[in-house]
Structure 1
Amino acid sequence: MALEPRDLVVVGASAGGVEALRGFVAGLPADLPAAVVVVLHLPAGGTSALPAILGRSGPLPAVSARQGMALERGRIHVAPPDHHVLVRDGTLVLSHGPTENGHRPAVDALFRSAAVAGGPRVIGVVLSGALDDGTAGMVAIATRGGVTMVQDLDDALYQGMPGSVVKHVRVDQVLPAGSLGDAVRRYAGEPVETANVPAPSALLRLETRFAAQQTVEVEKMGEPSGFSCPDCAGTLLDVDAERTRFRCRVGHAWTADALLDAQAGTLERALWTALRTLEEKVSLARKMGADARNRGSGKLAERYERTEEEASHAADVLRGYLLSDAVDEQARAERPS
C-alpha cells in the first residue's frame, strides 16, 4: 500500500475574495504540514499586494509565486497577475497560457494541475466569487480522490462560485471562510492511498497542457459548438457537454455562464459603437445639408435633412435602450439579495 501525506492546499477566489481569503488564512495553523497555493482573479496589469495582505492576516508567510519555485509546507504561494500558476513535480510553473473565462490566473487551471500532480494529496477550497469559476477544477480534484471544501453561501459576498461547486460536486466541507482554515488543519498531513487512484482523464490532461502552453491536438477535445470565442472570434468546441464548457482552437476556455456574460458585454460594446456611428452620421448629414443650402441646392439639402432626421431618431431610440438597460443593471446590483 502506497501512503503519502495530504500536503497540498489549492484555493480559488474572485469577487469578494480578499476578505474571504483573509478569514481563511487567519484560521490556518503556524505548523500546517501542507503547502498552500492561492489564485485570486486579478486584472492583468500591475502588481498584487495580496501576498503582503495574506502574510499579515495569519500565521503563515505568503509569497508571490515564481517560476520553478519549490512548494514549501507552511507557506502560502500566491499567483501573480497575468500568469496561470500550475503545480508540477513539487514545484510551481508560471504560464502565459490561454485565459479561462477571461481570467489569467485562473482558478480552474491551478486546480486541474493540482489534481493531475497530487491526486488524493490535494485539498481544494473555493471561496467567494461570481459565476461558476472553480467548478471544473473542483470536479477534477474530487475525481482524483482529493478533499473538497467551499465557503458557506451565507458567508460569501458572492455566492456564484461556491454555489456552483455545491451543485456539481459532493463537497466534503461547507463552512464560513473563518472556519475553513481549521478544517484544512484537520485534513492536512493525513496519510492517503495514492496507488489505486483513477488516472487523470484524457480531457483533464489536455486542458492541463493547454494551461501550460504546451502543444495540444485541439480536435481531440470536442465537436464544434456553433458559438464563437469572445476573445478571438474563433469557433468554440464543446469539450464537456455535462457541464457545458467550451474551448476555442487557441485554447480560450469558457463555461456557459461566463460565455453568456461575455457575449452580453460584446453586444453592449457593439451597440455603443452603433450609437457613436449614428451620431456621427447626424453631424455629417447636417453639415452636408447646410453646405447644399448655401450653394442653392434645395432638393439636395432636403435629402440630407431627411437622412439627418432618420439617423437622429435611430440614435435616440438606441440611446434610450442603452441608458435604460444601464439603469436596470444598477438597480439589480443595488437590490438586496
Structure 2
Amino acid sequence: MAQKQQQASVHDLIVIGGSAGGVTALTDLVKQLPAALNAAVMVVVHVHSESPSILTEILNSAGKLPVSTAQDGEAIEKGRIYVAPPDYHLRVKPGYLQLTKGPRENHHRPAIDPLFRSAAQAYGRRVVAVVLTGMLDDGTAGLMAVKMRGGVAVVQDPDDAMYSSMPHSALENVDNIDYILPLSEIPSILVTLANTPTENSQQSNLESDLAQSNMEAESGDLAGKPSTFTCPDCGGSLWEIEEGKMLRFKCHVGHAFGAKTLLAMQSEVLEEALWSAMRALQEKAMLSERMASKMRDRNLKLAAQQMEREAEAAKQRSQLIREVLEKGIEVK
C-alpha cells in the first residue's frame, strides 16, 4: 500500500461505516471475506468514548482476515482489517493510518465522514466506500467525497438494513451510487472490486470543484456562509455548507453536522432545556410554599396567600412542561 498511487490498478482500499446495528452487520460481512483479499479494510462503527474496544475481538473471531485496532502511524497492509478505537477519528494517509482526537462530527468520535474523506483524498479511485445500517446521516458527506474523487460507492439496501436512516441519507444525497445491495451480497462485490482495475475517466470541472470543497472539511477550513444556528457541542456559530444535494453545518472549532443530525441534536437540547425549566418551576413552587408557611406563622395572611398563588402557578406550568415531555420530541 505504500507504493505510489499511480502504480496501483485495483480498488485496494475499502472503508466501511456503520452505526446502530453495525456490529451485527459487520460480523456477517467479515465472515464472507476471503483470507487473500487484495485490499486493506478500515472500519468505523459509532461507539461511546467510554466503551471497551471489543469490536476487534468480535471481528477476529468471525472471519478469516486478521483484525486489529488501528494504531497511529501504522503502515497499511492488504489483507488486513483495521478498526477505529473508541474516542479517536481514524484517517487514512498515503501508506499509513492516523488517529486523532479532533472535533466530533455528527456528534461522534470516531465518525465515518473523516475516514471516508481522508481515504478519498489519499487514494482517489482506489477507494471503495461502504455505508451500512445506522441512524441519521453520518457517512453521506464522506461517500460524496469518495464519488467525487472517482471511487466506488456501495450502500446497504435500506430495506435490508436493521436501521435504514444512514443508507437512505446516502441514496437521497449522493448521485450515481454504484451498488445498492443487501448485506449478503456486499462481500462478493468487494472481492470483485479488489481485483478490478480502476477507471481512469476524468472528473468534470463541477465534480472537481465540489470535491475540493468537500475536502476543505478535512483540512479544517470553513466554507459556505454563516448561518443563524449555533453549535450544539460548543455553542459557537455554525456555517452552512451546501455539498451537492446535502446541507451540512460546521463551526469554527471544527464540529460538523449533517442537517438530520443537527435537527436531532437540537431536539436533545430542547428536551434538556425543558427538563431544566420544569426543575426550576418545581423548586420555585417548593420555595414559595416554604415562604408561605413562614408568613402564616407570623400571621402575614395576605403575603402568604400571594406566595401560595405563585406556588400553584409554578406547579401548573411545571405540569404543562411534563405533559409535553411525556408526549416525546421526535425526529425522523
2:115 aligned partner:
110
Cα distance, 1:3 vs. partner? 5.2
Q: Does 2:87 correspond to 1:87?
A: no
Cα distance, 1:275 vs. partner? 0.4
Q: Does 2:191 correspond to 1:185?
A: yes
Equivalent in 45, 57, 65 of residue 70 of structure 2: 65
1:313 aligned partner:
316
Cα distance, 1:231 vs. partner? 0.6
Equivalent in 169, 177, 180 of residue 174 of structure 1: 180
Alpha-carbon distance in 1 for matches of 2:11, 2:316: 66
User: Normalized against structure 1, the TM-score is what?
Assistant: 0.90
1:55 aligned partner:
60
Alpha-carbon distance in 2 for matches of 1:127, 1:195: 27
Q: Does the 8 A contact of 2:136 with 2:166 survive in 1?
A: yes
Equivalent in 5, 27, 49 of residue 44 of structure 1: 49
Q: Does 2:216 correspond to 1:206?
A: yes
Q: Does the 8 A contact of 2:10 with 2:193 survive in 1?
A: no
Q: How many percent identity over aligned positions?
A: 44
**What is the one-letter code of the residue matched to 2:234?**
C
Cα distance, 1:46 vs. partner? 3.4
Alpha-carbon distance in 1 for matches of 2:21, 2:8: 37
Q: Does 2:80 correspond to 1:75?
A: yes
Q: Does the 8 A contact of 1:3 with 1:193 survive in 2?
A: no
Q: Does 2:265 correspond to 1:262?
A: yes
CA deviations 1:251-289 (Å, max 9, x no partner) are 110111111100001000000000000000111000000
CA deviations 1:74-117 (Å, max 9, x no partner) are 11100001110000011000011111110111101100000000
Cα distance, 1:324 vs. partner? 2.5
Change (3 A) 1:195 1:4: farther
Unaligned runs of at least 5 residues, structure 2:
1-5
Q: Does the 8 A contact of 1:27 with 1:179 survive in 2?
A: no
Alpha-carbon distance in 2 for matches of 1:323, 1:153: 30
Divergent runs of 4+, >4 A: 193-200
1:271 aligned partner:
274
User: Normalized against structure 2, the TM-score is what?
Assistant: 0.92
Larger deviation: 286-295 or 195-204? Answer: 195-204
Q: Does the 8 A contact of 1:138 with 1:148 survive in 2?
A: yes
Cα distance, 1:318 vs. partner? 1.3
Q: Does the 8 A contact of 1:29 with 1:182 survive in 2?
A: no
Alpha-carbon distance in 1 for matches of 2:123, 2:325: 49
Change (3 A) 1:33 1:280: same
2:229 aligned partner:
227
Q: Does the 8 A contact of 1:2 with 1:194 survive in 2?
A: no
Alpha-carbon distance in 2 for matches of 1:40, 1:137: 14
Q: Does 2:252 correspond to 1:243?
A: no
Alpha-carbon distance in 2 for matches of 1:153, 1:80: 27
Q: Does 2:141 correspond to 1:139?
A: no
**What is the one-letter code of the residue matched to 1:229?**
C
Alpha-carbon distance in 1 for matches of 2:15, 2:309: 63
Unaligned runs of at least 5 residues, structure 1:
211-215
Q: Does the 8 A contact of 2:127 with 2:151 survive in 1?
A: yes
Alpha-carbon distance in 1 for matches of 2:132, 2:49: 21
| Matched pairs, number | 321
1:35 aligned partner:
40
SS at match of 1:158: coil
Alpha-carbon distance in 2 for matches of 1:202, 1:133: 19
